[in-house]
Structure 1
């Protein structure tokens, strides 16, 4: 009986492990790009009974969201997180009739069906939005897979991302910034200066900021983490504690942050600033 039980457990474990291979997650992000390009969510392997779809932290009908619009995608980059059965995709649509920069996080179940899609959708009037600038700079960056011998652990990658967000609440926190380090916020870029001058160092905010509601996708092969979060203070029409939807995509190389992409939604044009 014990032997049969062990075989059953091993078979079950194999099914769980097989459910979230990198190749299956890559298939999911490829399907997502096709779906967004054509405006056909039906091209995705969607869970029929318990699908959760949201844009800018607002639940909505998938047939009424940006995913139902055919969007001209000029550039995209994806992360694949087999440990969490999750994916992340950054879309730059600069030449689309309505320009967008979209960050999307997807979760899959053990049947390889997508159960959660949440997107931070930015366009004209959002913080520092400039899809043309975003496209120009992101295409020049190197996000090649990192050799296995040089890969950082999930903990190191996540820790670097958390330190970057935590510094806004405590400026004494040491953030592992590389030299060079380039930060892309909307279309604004710190990477166009000489390589030794490139920096991602942030000035201290006038009031400590607590960045909450963090949701992660971590990809050790690309040395990257994306953190969906709520960014306080920025929206001038609301109290400082009010948080707007934001996403930070961070590349880590040998323990140091190399690239940061940030997109942040505003309720009023340019968050009233």
Structure 2
């Protein structure tokens, strides 16, 4: 059985700017990385058997803004993927992770954006929410092979930033839809991967400030944040109002010197996807 996100909105907190978590044990980078790796390995195997032992009693699995049983046939986690790329950022303040996955096999492939959130469960930190945006054939500008080539050519080595700068930048970028004058810290060069379309051509003048619709646009809502100050990256899962009246969507940014350097976006266009 599945439930709409609206029905469970009282359970799935918006995580606005992700307040620090109070827990019985520290939320460490090592702990978060280990759990994210368990998720990645489960997706690689298409087997969720290792997950129930670590999840909280109030655990929720959400895929494209719909809550599902994690082991159901409609859950991507029950499909084995040959993972060609994965990258995880860690948010010890919010006790959360974000993982980007690209798989080109089985065809036509998948590009996945997953946040995992944790809370104190009887004195032990456990995952309470796995929140995934899953794109495949039929989604916005989807081509897993092209996306893989793009990310493999990018350098996301850690460049520390501040939580405030990352939150301000990603909110300003998303605010462009509804506020074309939002103060985005545009960087040059900057390259945006939108599905598998890329604004960059390898020139020092590459810009992300192209192809952004002007005028009045429906806002980006239901923002869920993961911020990694050490990596200089932040991710937001959201409802993208300009498409499908709120398409499931992921945006990740990378700052260098306080300016946008990379933007990765995924948007689900399949009805029922």
1:182·1:199 contact (CA, 8 Å) conserved in 2?
yes
> C-alpha separation between the residues in 1 aligned to 2:50 and 2:42?
5
Partner in structure 2 of residue 9 of structure 1: none
The alpha carbon displacement at 1:18 in A equals: 4.5
1:24·1:112 contact (CA, 8 Å) conserved in 2?
no
Match of 1:127, SS state, is coil
Q: Stretches of 4+ moved more than 4 A in 1?
A: none
> C-alpha separation between the residues in 2 aligned to 1:87 and 1:204?
30
Greater fraction of residues in helix? 1
Task: Identify if the C-alpha distance between structure 1 residues 53 and 23 changes in structure 2 by more than 3 Å, giving closer, same or farther.
Answer: same
**Structure exhibiting the larger radius of gyration computed from Cα positions:** 1
> C-alpha separation between the residues in 2 aligned to 1:75 and 1:167?
30
1:164 aligns with 2:173: yes
Length-normalised TM-score, structure 1: 0.85
Aligned residues: CA RMSD = 1.9
2:81·2:105 contact (CA, 8 Å) conserved in 1?
no
Partner in structure 1 of residue 5 of structure 2: none
> C-alpha separation between the residues in 2 aligned to 1:17 and 1:80?
19
1:76 aligns with 2:83: no
Length-normalised TM-score, structure 2: 0.85
Partner in structure 1 of residue 250 of structure 2: 247
Structure 2 unmatched ranges of 5 or more = 1-21
Structure 1 unmatched ranges of 5 or more = 1-14, 236-241
1:108 aligns with 2:118: yes
The alpha carbon displacement at 1:232 in A equals: 1.3
Partner in structure 1 of residue 59 of structure 2: 51
Partner in structure 1 of residue 48 of structure 2: 41
Q: How many residues are aligned here?
A: 245
26, 34, 46: which one aligns with 1:27 = 34
